[in-house]
Amino acid sequence: DTVLAAATITMKLTSTVCFPRQEIMKWNGWGYSDSKFLFNKKGQAEFTGKRYRLSGMVLPSLQDWFENTFGASVNHKSPATPALNASAVPPASLNEAFVEDLKATGIPFSHEAEDRVFRAHGHCLHEIFALREGKKFERVPDMVVWPNCHSDVVKIVELACKHNVCLIPYGGGTSVTSALECPPEETRCIVSLDTSQMNRILWIDEKNLVAHVEAGIIGQDLERLLNESGYCTGHEPDSMEFSSLGGWVATRASGMKKNVYGNIEDLVIHIKVVTPRGVIEKSCQGPRMSTGPDIHHFILGSEGTLGVVTEVTMKIRPIPEYQKYGSVVFPNFEAGVACLREVAKQRCAPASIRLMDNEQFQFGHALKPQVSSIFTNFVEGLKKFYITKFKGFDPHQLVVATLLFEGDRERVLQHEKQVYDIAATFGGLAAGEDNGQRGYILTFVIAYLRDLGMDYYVVAESFETSVPWDRVLDLCRNVKERINRECKERGVQFQPLTSCRVTQTYDAGACVYFYFAFNYRGLADPVHTYERVEHAAREEILANGGSLSHHHGVGKLRKEWMKESISSLGVGMLQSVKDYVDPDNIFGNRNLL
C-alpha cells in the first residue's frame, strides 16, 4: 500500500521502451503525458490519469488555496505552446566521419528534432518555461545515440575521441542544475548519449546481498524488478520515477529512506565508468578498502564530466516485512526542528522523517481529495478542533512531521513509540497515518503542480541545502526573508510563497528543502527575475552556513560558487583529474568546474 506501488502499476512500459520517450512523457513539462492537474469547468482542481493515488480525484480546496496564496485567478491563463516548433530547433551539425563509423557499429542513433530537444534540457524553471513559450533554442545536441550495453559505450567513446565529438551522457533527464544544457560555445558536434536502453539487472548475489545493474535503469524499474525477487535497494530519491542509477551516481543522489539504507555513496560497491582514457573500475568488491583516496569519489558527483557510468554493483536488502506511515503536529517550526534534532541525537530516526513548515502543511491540506462520507468530514473537523482549540495550536503556526517506519512489525511499533515519546516532549501530537502519507504524496505530485502553476502565471522552483543543526532555524528564516525582500525589490507584485521542510537528518546537521513560487503577472521577464531571486537565496544560504547543494548537484547553475565552497585548491584538484581523464574535453557538458 505504498505510494509507489500505486504509481508503478501501469509502468510496465519503461523496461521495454523505446527510444522516443516523449510518446509517454511530456515534452514541455513534468512526467507522464496522461497525468496533469487542471481546473475543470466548475473551477475545481483535478488530477488526470490513472497512475497515482490522486489520479482521477477532485481536489476541492486547491483552487482557493491557489488563488489566495498567489493572488492568481483561474480565469487568467498563460497556456503553453501546444507542440514543438521544429523550425525553432537549430539544424543538426553532424560530424560525418563519426556518423559513418557509428553506423558501422550498428548502435541506433537519431537526429530528429524532437529527440534532440527532449535531451537538451533538464527540469529547471528556465528550461521548462522556455519550452512552454516556444522560444528558439540556442544549442541542442546534434544527435542522440542509444547504446545497449557497456561495450557499446566503449565503442561510442572511442569514436568520439577519434573524431573529436562532444558527448553528453543522458540518464533520466531530471536534472535541476542546467547540467544537461549544451554549452552554447561548443562548436563540435554534440552527441547525447542516452543510457535508457542499458536497463537490465545483470545478476543478483544473495550471499553478499548485492546486485549488478546497468546504469541506465530507472529508479522505479530497478525497485520493481528487485521486488520480484524479494529485494529492494531502498534508494528512493523524490525523482525515482524517472531518474536513473547512473544519474544518481553522477550527482551523489540521496534517497528519502537513507536513514535505513544510506545515500548513493553508501550503497554502491563497485562502479564501471567508460572514460576517454579507458575504463575505470576496482578489482574487487571488498566492502571497504584502504587504498588511498577512494576513486569512487572521483566518479560520484562528477556530473558527466569524466565519462559514462555503465554498470553499478549496489547493495540490496530483503523487502521489509512491515511499513507504517505516521505524522506528528508541532505548535511551531522551532519545536519541530528541536524534535528532529533530538531524534537524530538519539540515532533513532525512522526510515524517513520530514518536517514541513506551516506553508507546506497548508499546501498539503489543499491537496485533500473530496471526502465522500459525512462521517470522515466530521472526524476531520473534530481533529482540527482538538488541535487548534483544545490544544491551543495556532493554525498559522503549526507544522507537521511526516514519518515512515520500516522493518518487522514488532520493531516498527516499538520504534514508533520511541519517536512519538520524543515528539511529545517537544509538544508534538500524533496526527495519524493519513497525514503522513499525504505528505509523501506531495513529493511525487509537486512537479506536476508546477506545470499547473505555469498555466496560470505562477512560476515555481525548489532548491536544497544541508546545514549544521544549530543553524537550521536561522537559515530557514533568513532565506525566506531574503526571498520575500528580493521579490519586492525586483517588482514582483504579489507576495511569493516561500516554504521549506527539513527532509533528512544527520548526526551533525540536516538537509533543508525550499519551495519558492510567485505570481509573475506584470513582470516583463519572469524567468530572469526568478533567477536573480534564486541567486540571492543561494548567497543567503551560503552566508548562513548552508552548503552549495545536498543532493541536486552543481551543474552549470551553481558553478560560480564552487571555489568559495571547496577552495580554489580543491577546484584545482578536481580540474587536474579532469585534465588527466579527459584531456580533450570529450565529456564537454562543462558542469561543475
Partner 1 sequence: SVSSSFPFSLLSISSRKQRKNTIRDGFEDILEERRNSSDLKYALRCYAPVLYKGVTPCKANMLKNIVLQSDQLRYVINQVSQESGEAPDIIQEEASVILEEMAHRLQISTVRFFAFALSKAFKTLFQHVCVNEEGIQRLQQAIQEHPVVLLPSHRSYMDFLLMSYILYTYDLALPVIAAGMDFMGMKFVGEMLRMSGAFFIRRSFGGDKLYWAVFSEYVKTMLRNGFAPIEFFLEGTRSRTCKSLTPKLGLLNIVIEPFFKGEVFDVNLVPISISYERILEESLYARELLGVPKPKESTSGLLKARRILSEDYGSIHVYFGQPVSVRSLAQGKVNRSTYNLFPRHIPRKPMEETQSFVNDTAYRIVRLQEDNMVLKPWVLMASLLLQNLEGMELSVLTEQTVWLRGLALSYAAFLDWPDHAPTAKVVSSSLALHRGLACVSGGRVSLVVGEPLGPVTPEEALFNRAVSVLSCASYRNQVLHVFLRPAMLAVAMLHLSDEVYNCFSFLWDMFSNDFILCPGDTVQDFEEACYLLVKTGAVQMPQQDIVMTDIGQPTLSFFNGLLEPFLQGYQVVCRYLCEEASEGLTEKQYIPAVRSFHSVLCVFTGNLRCYEVLSSDMQKNALAALLRMDAVRKVKVADQVTLIVNKMAVNSIDDILGKNRMISHINQTQISPSLSLVAVAEDLCRDGLTPSYIR
- Residue 355: CB atoms within 10 A of its CB come to 27
Look-up of cell digits 538519539: 346
Direct distance between the N- and C-terminal alpha carbons of the chain, in angstroms, rounded to an integer: 43
The answer to whether 440 is a known ligand-binding residue is no
The DSSP H or E segment spanning 531 is: helix 526-543
Question: Rounded to the nearest whole angstrom, what is the least distance from the CB of residue 499 to partner 1 in the complex?
Answer: 17
Three-class secondary structure of residue 399 per DSSP = strand
Beta bridge partners of 318: 231
Beta bridge partners of 544: none
Restricted to residues 421-450, the positions that interact with partner 1 (CB under 8 A) are none
Q: What is the DSSP letter of 301?
A: T
Residue of 132, 139, 477, 532 that binds partner 1 (CB under 8 A): 477
Name the residue nearer to partner 1 (CB basis): 181 or 540.
540
Q: What is the contact mask toward partner 1 in residues 482 to 521, using x (rule: CB under 8 A)?
A: x---------------------------------------
The answer to whether 427 is a known ligand-binding residue is no
Residue 501: CA atoms inside 13 Å, Cβ hemisphere, count?
Answer: 25
CA 221 and chain centroid, separation? 16
Q: Does 332 bind partner 1 (CB under 8 A)?
A: no
**Catalytic amino acids?**
513
The answer to whether 170 is a known ligand-binding residue is yes
Strand arrangement of the beta sheet that strand 458-468 belongs to: 429-430, 322-330, 399-407, 352-356, 497-505, 509-519, 458-468
The answer to whether 283 is a known ligand-binding residue is no
Choose the binding region for partner 1 from 30-38, 248-256, 416-424, 469-477 (rule: CB under 8 A): 469-477
Name the residue nearer to partner 1 (CB basis): 182 or 548.
548
Residue of 100, 421, 470, 525 that binds partner 1 (CB under 8 A): 470
Name the residue nearer to partner 1 (CB basis): 199 or 544.
544
Rounded CA-CA distance 551/3 in Å is 22
Choose the binding region for partner 1 from 21-29, 297-305, 474-482, 525-533 (rule: CB under 8 A): 474-482
The answer to whether 590 is a known ligand-binding residue is no
Beta bridge partners of 505: 510
Question: Rounded to the nearest whole angstrom, what is the least distance from the CB of residue 482 to partner 1 in the complex?
Answer: 7
Instruction: Output the CA–CA distances (angstroms, integers) from residue 545 to 109, 345, 435, 465, 542, in the order listed.
Output: 46, 20, 32, 10, 5
Choose the binding region for partner 1 from 206-214, 216-224, 268-276, 478-486 (rule: CB under 8 A): 478-486
The answer to whether 171 is a known ligand-binding residue is yes
Rounded CA-CA distance 11/221 in Å is 8
Q: What is the contact mask toward partner 1 in residues 533 to 552, using x (rule: CB under 8 A)?
A: ---------xxxx-------
* C-alpha cell of residue 322: 512491515
Q: Does 397 bind partner 1 (CB under 8 A)?
A: no
Q: What is the contact mask toward partner 1 in residues 259 to 288, using x (rule: CB under 8 A)?
A: ------------------------------
**DSSP labels, 486-520:** HHHHTT--SPPEEEEEEEEE-SSEEEEEEEEEEE-
The answer to whether 453 is a known ligand-binding residue is no
Binding-site residue numbers are 169-175, 251-254, 303-309, 450
Binding site for partner 1 (CB under 8 A): 470-471, 474-475, 477-478, 481-482, 542-545, 564
Binding-site residue numbers for substrate are 450
